[in-house]
Chains A and B, each alone.
Chain A
Amino acid sequence: MIRFLLVGNSRQSWLGVLNDAIKPLGELDVCREADTFAQIEKANYGVVVIDAGEVDHPEDLVLRLRSQRPLLRIIVVTSAPAWQLARRVLLSGATDCINKYADKKRLSAFLSDTVDRANSVSL
């Protein structure tokens, strides 16, 4: 079972979808942006999901998480997809940047695919 951490106070309706999407893969915790680094100390998270709409500078958070946890998978979710945001977060080390799908099956498929990916390769 994989532990997922959602950063950002996403709306309850989408949180429900995310919870359902994650159920077959593992379990979900939620924290505010300010508590992210304290939270990742508490458990061995495999995936951090960042709600781009709830975080000031998602690319900075991605970079800091990536510096501290090179093997962590980081998924940025957004309800306002823009290629510029996707570029910024991916260049900062995100594993993927996806829409906030309301369809739990689709969301689950994306999450499952991301979990399968190795994110870091040594030079």
Chain B
Amino acid sequence: MSKHKILIADNNKGFLAELASFLKSEQYLVTTAESLDQAKKVLDKKYDAVILDIRLRWDRDDKDISGLMLAETVARGTPVIILTGYPSVLKVRRALAPRRKGLSAAFDFVDKEEVDEKLLPVLKDAIFVRDLKRGIEAAWKQLWNEEAPSVIALCRRHGLSKDDALAVWPQIFAKLAKAPIFVLKKTALRKWLIDQAILQIGAYMTNQRVGLKASSCDPTGEILLNEQLLTEMAAAAVDGKVSREKLIQNITKAIESLGPQQEKVMMLYTFQGASKAKIAKQLGITEKTVSRHVRDGSRQLRKRISNLREG
């Protein structure tokens, strides 16, 4: 049962009363403000989320964006949902585009005509995401409960056991906790999680592999993370002549046949999805050298894949 505190500011008294009543019926603790001045007065209290109409001065003034301006003053960490009966590209940009410090004024933007179906899910997401950012355990547990099945299924598809999947999961969370703020917008969260899961599974499997001798390892479970190589592998596999395992074995062999430094670069680049800057820093070489190794290494891998295709 929700006991979250919500502030709603709207100068349309009828709409405000209706919305407040609806949210109260959903067990929210609601404070209302009928004007810009009133909203400013009550904003110094703490809220779990703030819902602001854009036109707080006068509904008929199409230049009135006082609600948007007020959103920019709301304490960081309190999600703001912008509500309006007059949506436009300009207003969405003002609300959601990141400003100079990288933060947007609002968490989301809802058209008043869609309030019935959209506001409650957006509000729940806003509070959930805020809790994740604050590291509140219940939110992380909820995320685990909701997303664990799809992540475990993904791990299984890549040949990992359930135990391995459970070992990968904290790494995904650790990554998420350091993630840039944009990925924590509700629409992006789920897709981003799966993307991160694929990266972390790849890194996990590479680490497992590093613990074994290269010659004795079974590379069939490896995941290539480099987009270009993935595309080419897929192209080679399309005709059905070459199995995925054989492709990966050949790529692994090709990487192992490179010089020691180039091999390290290609391992990090191909299997861990590390950036060139990160590889350069890790190996103490210039980015230019990393680029050269990647270019030459990729050429060799492409050659091996095309040989396979021809064979």
Residue B262 interfacial (CB < 8 Å): no
Query: Do A121 and B181 touch (CB < 8 A)?
Result: yes
Query: Do A120 and B181 touch (CB < 8 A)?
Result: yes
Residue B25 interfacial (CB < 8 Å): no
Residue A81 interfacial (CB < 8 Å): yes
Separation in Å of the A115 CB from the closest CB of chain B? 11
Indicate whether A96 sits within 8 Å of B93 (C-beta atoms), given known contacts A38-B231, A117-B102, A119-B102. Answer: yes
In chain B, residues 195-209, which have Cβ atoms closer than 8 Å to a Cβ of chain A? 195-196
Separation in Å of the B98 CB from the closest CB of chain A? 5
In chain A, residues 71-108, which have Cβ atoms closer than 8 Å to a Cβ of chain B? 81-83, 86-88, 90-99
Separation in Å of the B94 CB from the closest CB of chain A? 10
Query: Do B192 and A118 touch (CB < 8 A)?
Result: no
Spot the interface stretch: B42-50, B156-164, B172-180, B210-218: B172-180
Indicate whether A121 sits within 8 Å of B180 (C-beta atoms), given known contacts A59-B187, A90-B96, A90-B97. Answer: yes
Query: Do A91 and B100 touch (CB < 8 A)?
Result: no
Residues of A within 8 A of B186 (CB): 91
Q: Which of A63, A90, A123 interacts with B92 by CB under 8 Å? A: A90
Residue B191 interfacial (CB < 8 Å): yes
Bound Cα distance from A119 to B96, whole angstroms: 12
Q: Which of B93, B133, B185, B196 interacts with A97 by CB under 8 Å? A: B93
Bound Cα distance from A97 to B185, whole angstroms: 17
Query: Do A38 and B182 touch (CB < 8 A)?
Result: no
Indicate whether A37 sits within 8 Å of B228 (C-beta atoms), given known contacts A97-B93, A97-B97. Answer: yes
In chain B, residues 104-146, which have Cβ atoms closer than 8 Å to a Cβ of chain A? 104, 108-109, 133
Number of interface residues of B (CB under 8 A): 38
Interface on chain B toward A: helix, strand, loop, or mixed SS?
helix
Separation in Å of the B101 CB from the closest CB of chain A? 7
Bound Cα distance from A37 to B229, whole angstroms: 11
Query: Do B93 and A90 touch (CB < 8 A)?
Result: yes
Separation in Å of the B165 CB from the closest CB of chain A? 20
Spot the interface stretch: B13-21, B27-35, B83-91, B240-248: B83-91
Query: Do A92 and B188 touch (CB < 8 A)?
Result: yes
Q: Which of A83, A116, A119, A123 interacts with B89 by CB under 8 Å? A: A83
Separation in Å of the B151 CB from the closest CB of chain A? 16
Query: Do B100 and A123 touch (CB < 8 A)?
Result: no
Residues of A within 8 A of B182 (CB): 66, 92-93, 119-120
Residue B183 interfacial (CB < 8 Å): yes
Query: Do B195 and A67 touch (CB < 8 A)?
Result: yes
Residue A32 interfacial (CB < 8 Å): no
**Beta-carbon nearest neighbor of B179 in chain A:** A123
Residue B75 interfacial (CB < 8 Å): no
Query: Do B99 and A117 touch (CB < 8 A)?
Result: yes
Query: Do B109 and A122 touch (CB < 8 A)?
Result: no
Query: Do B187 and A86 touch (CB < 8 A)?
Result: no
Residue A70 interfacial (CB < 8 Å): yes
Bound Cα distance from A68 to B198, whole angstroms: 12
* The 9 residue pairs across chains A and B that have the minimum distance between CB atoms: A120-B180, A121-B102, A37-B227, A90-B96, A93-B182, A86-B92, A118-B102, A83-B87, A38-B228
Query: Can you add 14 more A-B contacts, CB < 8 Å, to A63-B195, A70-B179?
Result: A41-B228, A60-B191, A66-B188, A67-B195, A81-B89, A82-B89, A90-B97, A92-B182, A97-B97, A117-B98, A118-B100, A119-B98, A120-B180, A122-B179
| Residues of A participating in the B interface, judged by any CB pair closer than 8 Å | 37-38, 41, 59-60, 63-64, 66-68, 70, 81-83, 86-88, 90-99, 116-123
Pairs across A and B, CB under 8 Å, 15 listed: A66-B183, A68-B227, A86-B89, A86-B96, A91-B108, A92-B187, A93-B185, A94-B97, A118-B100, A119-B98, A120-B180, A121-B103, A121-B180, A122-B178, A122-B181
